[in-house]
């Protein structure tokens, strides 16, 4: 079943589609195989190859409530007929047959053995541990990927990084090209990039930058450029940490085998 879907979004509107495409390329190949047998055992495997856990439904507590008591039931002689894992990995639906027995009956402080019900039963099990462990499961998925898939994600990562930074620099140059002539007019030995970084760092602004901010860029334009450049930097960091780095390491490990 389809597994992990990225929730990250970028600050640069034009780069959102590329970033989402990268996340999907990196994670859409992940899947979990769920199976059940006539003995009531549920098994989970990534790609149907790597076991990651199992559950015996005979050992599951099944709470039920009536008018005057809370009942915890157990299944006996259960046989699994059908299983389905939700897309968010948090719930497993199980259709099974067997004998549902009232294991513990809490009524007025006493404990007794309750009645049993034979037939077909439908259970919903909490499998949110898969969602909580999605990063570890993703690592398993990456290690199981072939070289072509890894190379595709690496190439896509570099392409997205280039586009994110190019978009940010286009906006920067569009706004700051005017500053170059002002720097030359004031006889300063610096570039617009250096003046911009100095401004972001809270250093003293030069006369050229002061004139540029007052007459050309303005406060709104400055905030816009700062947001775009900082956003691009954060997106690059996410791409490197979540996609490029792990895939390059896995690719190098695969070549060394």
Q: Summarize pLDDT for 231-256 with one digit per residue, the tens.
A: 888 888 888 877 777 767 766 766 55
Please check whether residues 120 and 45 belong to one and the same domain. yes
Task: Evaluate whether residue 14 is within a structural domain.
Answer: no
Q: What is the dihedral of CA 193, 195, 15, 89, to 10 degrees?
A: 110
Task: Evaluate whether residue 25 is within a structural domain.
Answer: no
Task: Evaluate whether residue 153 is within a structural domain.
Answer: yes
Domain final residue pick, 79, 112, 141: 141
- Say what the pLDDT of residue 80 is: 92
Q: How many angstroms separate the CA atoms of 23 and 19, rounded?
A: 6
Q: Are 42 and 34 in contact (CB under 8 A)?
A: yes
Name the region of 53 (left: φ>0; alpha: ψ -120 to 50; beta: rest): left
Which of 92-101, 119-128, 137-146 is predicted least confidently? 137-146
Mean pLDDT of 140-162: 73
Task: Evaluate whether residue 84 is within a structural domain.
Answer: yes
Please check whether residues 40 and 122 belong to one and the same domain. yes
Q: Give the H/E segment covering residue 52.
A: strand 50-56
Please check whether residues 220 and 130 belong to one and the same domain. no
CA dihedral (200, 204, 210, 214) positive or negative: positive
Domain final residue pick, 115, 141, 167: 141
Q: Are 94 and 122 in contact (CB under 8 A)?
A: yes
Domain final residue pick, 80, 107, 141: 141
Task: Evaluate whether residue 17 is within a structural domain.
Answer: no
Please write the tens of the pLDDT for every residue from 185-240.
878 878 877 877 777 777 677 788 777 777 777 777 777 877 888 888 888 888 88
Q: How many angstroms separate the CA atoms of 119 and 131, rounded?
A: 32
pTM higher than 0.75: no
- Say what the pLDDT of residue 94 is: 92
Q: How many angstroms separate the CA atoms of 109 and 70, rounded?
A: 11
Q: What is the mean pLDDT of the chain?
A: 74
Please check whether residues 34 and 134 belong to one and the same domain. yes
- Say what the pLDDT of residue 100 is: 87
Q: Tokens standing for 73?
A: 């039931």
Mean pLDDT of 52-72: 82
Please check whether residues 167 and 239 belong to one and the same domain. yes
Please check whether residues 150 and 107 belong to one and the same domain. no
Identify the domain containing residue 46 by its residue range. 30-141
Q: How many angstroms separate the CA atoms of 126 and 185, rounded?
A: 69
- Statement: residue 169 has pLDDT above 70: yes
- Statement: residue 13 has pLDDT above 50: no
- Statement: residue 6 has pLDDT above 90: no
Please check whether residues 199 and 175 belong to one and the same domain. yes
Mean pLDDT of 72-91: 89
Please check whether residues 150 and 219 belong to one and the same domain. yes
Q: Are 187 and 240 in contact (CB under 8 A)?
A: no
Q: What is the dihedral of CA 18, 23, 26, 30, to 10 degrees?
A: -140
Pick 129 or 104 by higher pLDDT.
129
Please check whether residues 113 and 171 belong to one and the same domain. no
Task: Evaluate whether residue 19 is within a structural domain.
Answer: no
Please check whether residues 231 and 212 belong to one and the same domain. yes
Please check whether residues 150 and 236 belong to one and the same domain. yes
When divided into structural domains, the chain yields a total of 2
Task: Evaluate whether residue 34 is within a structural domain.
Answer: yes
Residue % of the chain over a pLDDT of 70: 71
Q: Tokens standing for 159?
A: 């392409």
Name the 3-class secondary structure at 16: helix
Task: Evaluate whether residue 127 is within a structural domain.
Answer: yes
- Say what the pLDDT of residue 141 is: 63
Confidence of residue 20 (pLDDT cuts 50, 70, 90): low
Which of 96-100, 120-124, 166-170, 213-217 is predicted least confidently? 213-217
- Say what the pLDDT of residue 112 is: 47
Please check whether residues 155 and 212 belong to one and the same domain. yes
* Cβ atoms within 10 Å, residue 224: 14
């Amino acid at each position: 079943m389809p597994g992990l879907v990225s929730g990250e979004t970028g600050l640069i509107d034009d780069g959102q589609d590329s970033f989402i495409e990268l996340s999907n390329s990196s994670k859409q190949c992940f899947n979990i195989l769920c199976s059940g047998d006539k003995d009531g055992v549920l098994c989970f495997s990534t790609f149907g190859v790597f076991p990651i856990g199992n559950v015996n439904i005979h050992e599951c507590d099944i709470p039920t409530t009536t008018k005057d008591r809370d009942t915890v039931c157990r299944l006996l002689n259960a046989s699994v007929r059908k299983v389905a894992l939700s897309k968010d990995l948090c719930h497993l639906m199980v259709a099974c047959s067997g004998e549902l027995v009232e294991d513990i009956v809490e009524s007025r402080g006493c404990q007794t053995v309750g009645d049993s019900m034979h037939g077909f039963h439908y259970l919903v099990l909490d499998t949110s541990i898969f969602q909580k462990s999605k990063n570890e499961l993703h690592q398993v998925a990456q290690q199981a990927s072939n070289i072509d898939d890894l190379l595709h994600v690496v190439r896509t990562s570099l392409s997205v990084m280039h586009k994110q930074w190019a978009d940010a620099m286009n906006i920067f140059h569009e706004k700051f090209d005017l500053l170059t002539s002002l720097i030359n007019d004031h006889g300063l030995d610096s570039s617009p990039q250096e003046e911009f970084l100095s401004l972001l760092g809270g250093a003293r602004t030069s006369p050229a930058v002061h004139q540029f901010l007052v007459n050309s860029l303005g406060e709104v334009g400055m905030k816009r450029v700062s947001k775009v450049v900082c956003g691009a930097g954060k997106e690059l960091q996410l791409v490197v940490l979540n996609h490029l780095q792990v895939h390059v390491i896995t690719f190098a490990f695969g070549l060394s085998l």
